[in-house]
Each structure stands twice: as structure tokens, then as C-alpha cells.
Chain A
């Protein structure tokens, strides 16, 4: 078997598509003017940004004036949550979120708790779905914000966003969703879904890293996060990341123009890979929802083994995968998401996330199906847990 490079970590980041890079290039060396400048050369940069804003708005069914560019998804999450919390303090101090959010949301909420806010972290069921009744019951007259992710980055579970939006709107509570994983994979309509704020990040849909956007519905009362110059209609200071913004817009345009076809292709590869894994590797559990999940996401737990060693051996065979969210240093703690869906510690430790995307071919699926079962078996053969399990008759 010939070693190949297989990238199955699209949920961590994607490559930048050549078309996207091409759209960005002129804005580095030629059309580099500052969008805030008065002369025509600068105005042309400004025009490029406004064109980009329109493209992003169109992809979400928002108005251009409701799109604000940021330095990425985490900044957008921070802005939405802190901005609404501080601007609406006089109305209440209660925020509702879930236990399976990205750390950009969770740690922001924890920070706000230290500032005197109260946060309810909703439980999820074994598939990672919140219960809408729990949500309704958690709402108090102090609740000012509901922030619930569109789709989970680890297990791929897609939440009932439109229903959540309806509940929030009926009660006059702001609803923010972290849609970093969803854009390009799920149809999003902020008007129909009653979304007040939505975070996205360019590098998850074949755009560049370091640029994101926050959709803020007109009328939402929100404080600034980054103070300074008057860019982004005085809402987000700092000279605009012109090439990044142009790239993000081109990427979202491409990603949302044929979601259906893209999903069909990715999903068919994903399903074949998943079936192969479940057939070939015993004592394996699928994490997340069987249907309500991102098209490229697989998250499985292999009993008796430990995820870190698995990743290193996969890496040895040229396969890039992950177990949960990668932390700053690259090392892994038991995933809070897998703990929240009720996995015991030792099973959560042996989990693997494969996220398929545009870089993958059918041959990649074949290759992973050949390599992965061998590695899992090798690790199990060296596992004392597996040994005692087999000795006891495999029950």
C-alpha cells in the first residue's frame, strides 16, 4: 500500500481555494490603498470591501449594513456576547448557552460570569441536541441573550436553529449563533430563522485565515469590542484586512452557490467511510446524530484505545485527523462535548474526528479504510484494557 497524504480535518481549517486566492492577490500589491483614505485609490479599496459585504449579506439573506468584518470567528463570538451583555445590562444579566459550545463562546461566558452575569449552560441529549423545553424553562425575565451554536465542531450535530430563533424572538431576547462550522454546509437564512447575530470564519469554507464576520441584525443593541478608528461604520476599529475580506466574500459566494451538490458529494464519501469503519472495526460507537449532522463529519469512539496515540499513528501514515478541538499547544483534554453527550471518560479519550471536504477523493476513503483498522487493532493489542476484556470473554 502506497503512503498518501490524506487531509480529513476540514473542520479544523480548509485550504484557500485558488479562485479565492486569485481574487485576493491584487489587493496585496496593486490595489492596496487604505479604505479610509479620501483619494480615489483608497476609495477603490473601500468599494471592494462594500462589494464583499454585499456578497456575505446575500449568502445569509441579510442586508449589507448588517455585516461587520472581524479578525475571525472567535472575535465575532466575543463581540456578539460581550457586546450584547454590556449594552443590555440594565435589562438583565442572564445569558443562556449550551455545554457543547466552542471555547470562544464558553470562555467568553465564563469571563462574563466573573463580571457579574449569570449563565445557564443547557444540557444536550446523547446526540448533542438541546431540548427546546429546557430552553423555554431556562428563560427568566433577566434573560438578555441566547447563544447556541448552529452546528457542533466536534460531533457535527445541527441544532434546531429556526425553532430557537422563534422562541427567542417571541420573548424579545437576542439570539446569537456561532455558525462557524455551518456556513457552506447548511442553508442559512437569518431572517427566516430569526437570528439576531451570527458568527462566521473565512477559513472554514475555503477562504483565508484571520478574517471573519459578525452579522448583527439592524436594531440590536450592542457595544463595541474593539475601540479605535471609525472603520466598519464605527463598530469595529482597525484598518480593514482588505485582501482577507475580499477572499472571505469570494469564498462564501462559492461555498453557498451550490451547497446541495457539494453536500451530496461529501456526504456520499462520508457515508461510505463511516459504514466501512463501523463494519471493519468492532467496539466502535458513532458520536453525534445519525442524520442531523454536518455532511463531512464523522466522530467515532474506539473502545480500549487512547485518541492521542491513534492520531500520531495516523499522522505517521500521512492522515490528518483530530479528536476534538485542538488547543493552543496541540495537546488534548477529554472533550467537553463528548462528556456532555454522556460518554464515559475512557470512551471519550478514544475518539476520532474525521472531517471530509473538497480536498478528499474516493481514494482517500479507501486508504483510510485500509490503514485505520490496522492501527486500531495494533493499539488494542497493546492495551491492558482490551486484554482483560478479551480474557473475560469479550462482554
Chain B
């Protein structure tokens, strides 16, 4: 009997082509769109963003074209508690969270996988650009960078457990984005030229501060910008408006460019300083997950990146307290609390954690 696989479909070109490839490979494919956007936000049309109602229409057409069963399932409540509220709480605590990482950890590779198993599926599949491989020597599943370096999405996948890796297929890992678009055109998918979604799906206009303000109007309070000595330099609009390394939009005129170098939520202060102050060579991360091995036993030489768009840099990681200490060879710009640091050994994802 064919293996059953449930693929998460966003209506975009990646998951559509992934579904097609799986079907070609002989799987019994079921398409599912996870509905995650809270009802009160649904009325805004969100062109290109995933998870919207128009995304459902796109995915419906793709599934019909591929002749696979397709459903829309409700994940709104768990998404609200595990992703949206987490996102807001982190911002209010002066951090800069990555909601996609939270979504992958708590929704896609947890709730969604469980739901797929209820339906009798052995695997879930996604349109991520990453490669899952079994290391025959150790018996462990590995996560590796995709062929298309520009599109590689391993950064947001570092939390995957062995069980999740074993039960997940990522058929696009071996393709470039151009090739994926080409396949989409060849098989006549109307979504072939749809633009990539880059914004956060539940904040399509990218205005995080507005979003947080709407949901927690009483939690955003104006406060003061201070320098490293604690001298007040001006008023800020509330700490959720700022992130480490930010220069624009501070509304300060001090005769020289200043940058956000720290946020102190307890005192509602935003600390600004010179650009040199935002370069640091050490960070500490918690909530750490490792993939090629269960636990980091000693020092390890890796390349590490501190945000999705950052360049990887040489670093040494070692166990420390409940997490990992990361020492970079050269100082990194704007190491930001709440973001994830992800470690690589060549093409292999070693693991990662959340910067404290």
C-alpha cells in the first residue's frame, strides 16, 4: 500500500510543487491548509501572505489540479496561544522573537504532525528548502542545508526532534527556487509566479507595534531613551517599537548617529549608544536543541548565525548552565535577545537556541 503523507499547503508555489513531487514519487498525498489567523484579522485582504482566505482558494485549485484530497483545518486557538501571544509577550519583555520558529516548533511539527497521525499518515511534508537525511553510522536523522543556498530555510527548523525528522518529508531540499517555479509552470500551476511571502503571516503590513498596541493597548507605555551612563536623552514611544541595532525612527537628534544597544523592560528604558557598542563576540542561548547528537558534551567549532538574514560566522560553542555559550571569532553586529542562534557544521545543522 502507498504510504500516506499529509502536506501542509499554503497556496504558494513551494508547497504546491512539493505536493506534486510527492505524488509523482508515489505517495498517497493529502493536502491540508492550517487556518491560523484569528477571525477578527481575516477581513483584511492579504495579498501574497500565506494562511489567508485567498491562500485557501489557491490551495484548493492546486489540490484539484493534482487530484489530491484537500482540507482546511482549524489551528487558530493553539496558534494564538503558542505563537501570537508568545510573540507579543516577548516584545513586551524587550526581546525580538521569531514567530516562524515558534510556529514550526509548536504548530507545524507538533500539532500538525499529531493531526496527520490521527488521519493515519506516516509522514507530514512541507515546502521548506532543507534536506532531511539519515546518518546510517549513528542512526540519527540529520537536517542539512538545501541545494539553493539563497532559499535555505534550515535556520527556522533547528528545533526539530529526531521523531519529527523521521516523520517529515521536505521534497524541495534538492531544488533551487528557479527550478521549483519552472516545475510549477510546466505542470500549469497558476501560482507559479506568486511572490514569496516574507512578512509575518499574522501581521501582513509588518507594523508590529500597531499589532501589539491593538491587542494590549495598556501594555505599551512611553518611556525614556538613556545613554550607557543612564542620562535621559529623550522620550520613546514604548519599547515594542525598538530592536537592538536600530538607528532609524528613534526621533533623537544628538549630533551623531546613535543605535539601540539595549532594552531594559523593567525600567521601560531604551539604551542608545555608538555603533561600536552593538558589536559583541559572546552570547548565551537557552532552549537549545541539537540534531546530530543528543547533548553537547564539550567545546565544538561551528559556524553560527544570529538571525535569519545574518551571515554565518566562525564560533566555538560549549555547554554552560542550562544552555550554550557561543564565542565568535569576530564580534557580531546586534546580537538580539529573543532571536535564535543556529549552529552549522558544514552543511549539517548542529542545532540552535534562543539568545538570552
- Give CA–CA (A333, B76) in the complex, Å: 8
Q: Which residues of A contact B1 (CB under 8 A)?
A: none
- What CA separation (Å) do A309 and B117 show in the bound complex? 10
Whether A255 is near chain B, meaning CB under 8 Å from some CB there, is no
Question: By the criterion CB–CB under 8 Å, are A329 and B56 in contact?
Answer: yes
Question: Cβ of B56: which chain A residues have Cβ within 8 Å of it?
Answer: 329-330
A145 CA to B33 CA, complexed, in Å = 41
A-side contacts of B73, CB under 8 Å: 308, 312, 331
A103 to B76, CA, bound (A): 19
Interface flag for B222 (CB, 8 Å):
no
Q: Is there an interface contact between B119 and A313, defined as CB atoms closer than 8 Å?
A: yes
Choose from B53, B69, B72, B119 the contact partner of A309 (Cβ within 8 Å): B119
Most buried by A among B56, B71, B117, B118: B118
Query: Which B residues are in CB contact (< 8 Å) with A312?
Result: 71, 73, 119
The listed residue (B72, B115, B119, B120) touching A329 by CB distance below 8 A is B72
Whether A329 contacts B53 by the Cβ 8 Å rule is yes
B35 close to A (CB within 8 Å): yes
Closest Cβ–Cβ distance, residue A174 to chain B (whole Å):
30
A281 vs B248: C-alpha distance when bound (angstroms): 63
* Separation of A315 and B70 alpha carbons in the complex (Å): 11
Q: How far is the CA of A316 from the CA of B120 in the complex (A)?
A: 11
Residues in A with CB closer than 8 Å to B311 are none
> Binary interface profile of A, 253-280, with partner B (CB < 8 Å = 1, else 0)?
0000000000000000000000000000
Q: Which of A313, A315, A331, A382 contacts B72 (CB 8 A)?
A: A331
Interface size for B (C-beta < 8 A) is: 16
B74 near A331 with CB under 8 A, answer: yes
> How many residues of chain A have a CB within 8 Å of chain B?
14
Q: How far is the CA of A331 from the CA of B56 in the complex (A)?
A: 10
Chain A residues with Cβ below 8 Å from B120 are 316
Q: Mark A127-145, 1 if CB is under 8 A from B, else 0.
A: 0000000000000000000
Contact (Cβ within 8 A) A330 B71? yes
Hey, which chain B residues are within 8 Å of A328, CB to CB? 53
Check B117 against A382 for contact (C-beta < 8 Å): yes
Judged by a CB distance under 8 angstroms, whether A379 is at the interface is: yes
A331→B118 contact, CB < 8 A:
no
A-B contact count (CB 8 A): 35
| A308 B74 Cβ-Cβ under 8 A | yes
Residues in A with CB closer than 8 Å to B119 are 309, 312-313, 316
Bound: A331/B76 CA distance, A: 10
The residues of A that contact B33 with a CB separation of less than 8 Å are 329
Min CB distance A347 to B, Å, is 15
Q: Is B256 an interface residue (CB 8 A)?
A: no
Q: Once the chains bind, are A379 and B118 in contact (CB under 8 Å)?
A: yes
Instruction: Specify which chain B residues have a CB less than 8 angstroms from the CB of A372 in the assembled complex.
Output: none
Asked whether A331 lies within 8 Å of B35 as measured between CB atoms, the reply is yes
Residue of B nearest to A383 (CB): B118
Are B117's CB and A333's CB within 8 A? Answer: no
Does B39 reach chain A (CB closer than 8 Å)?
yes
List A contacts of B115 (CB < 8 A). Answer: 308-309
Chain A residues positioned under 8 Å from B118 (CB to CB) = 309, 313, 379, 382
Taking the closest CB of chain A, its distance from the CB of B63, in whole angstroms, is 12
Q: How far is the CB of B5 from chain A (nearest CB, A)?
A: 15
Contact present for A333 and B53 (CB under 8 Å): no
* Chain B residues in 8 Å Cβ range of A315: 69, 71
Q: Which residues on B sit within 8 Å (CB–CB) of A167? A: none
Which B residue's beta carbon lies closest to that of A345?
B77
Distance in angstroms from B102 CB to nearest chain A CB is: 21
CA distance A329 to B71 in the complex (A): 9
Closest residue of chain B to A382, judged by CB? B118
Q: List residues 342-386 of chain A with CB under 8 A from any CB of chain B.
A: 379, 382
Interface residues of B in 14-55 (CB under 8 A from A): 33, 35, 39, 53
Q: Point out the residues of chain A lying under 8 angstroms from B117, CB to CB.
A: 382
A343→B117 CA distance, assembly (Å): 27
A332 at the binding interface (Cβ < 8 Å): yes
With both chains docked as a complex, state the minimum distance between the C-beta of A113 and any C-beta of chain B, in angstroms: 15
Find residues 297-333 in chain A having any chain B CB closer than 8 Å to their own CB: 308-309, 312-313, 315-316, 328-333
Give 1 or 0 for each of B109-141: 1 = CB within 8 Å of chain A CB: 000000101111000000000000000000000
Complex CA gap A238/B35 in Å reads 36
Q: Using Cβ atoms and an 8 Å threshold, which residues of chain B touch A308?
A: 73-74, 115
Of all chain B residues, the one with the shortest Cβ separation from A328 is: B53
Minimal beta-carbon separation of B272 from chain A (angstroms): 43
Name the distance in Å between B59's Cβ and chain A's nearest Cβ: 10
Q: A308-B74, A309-B119, A333-B76 are in contact. List 11 more A-B contacts (CB 8 A).
A: A308-B115, A312-B71, A312-B73, A312-B119, A328-B53, A329-B33, A329-B35, A329-B72, A330-B71, A330-B72, A331-B73
14 examples of A-B residue contacts, CB within 8 angstroms: A308-B73, A308-B74, A309-B115, A313-B119, A315-B69, A329-B33, A329-B35, A329-B53, A329-B56, A329-B72, A330-B56, A330-B72, A331-B73, A333-B76
Closest 7 CB pairs of A and B: A331-B72, A331-B35, A329-B56, A330-B72, A331-B74, A309-B118, A329-B72
B: residues with CB less than 8 A from A are 33, 35, 39, 53, 56, 69, 71-74, 76, 115, 117-120
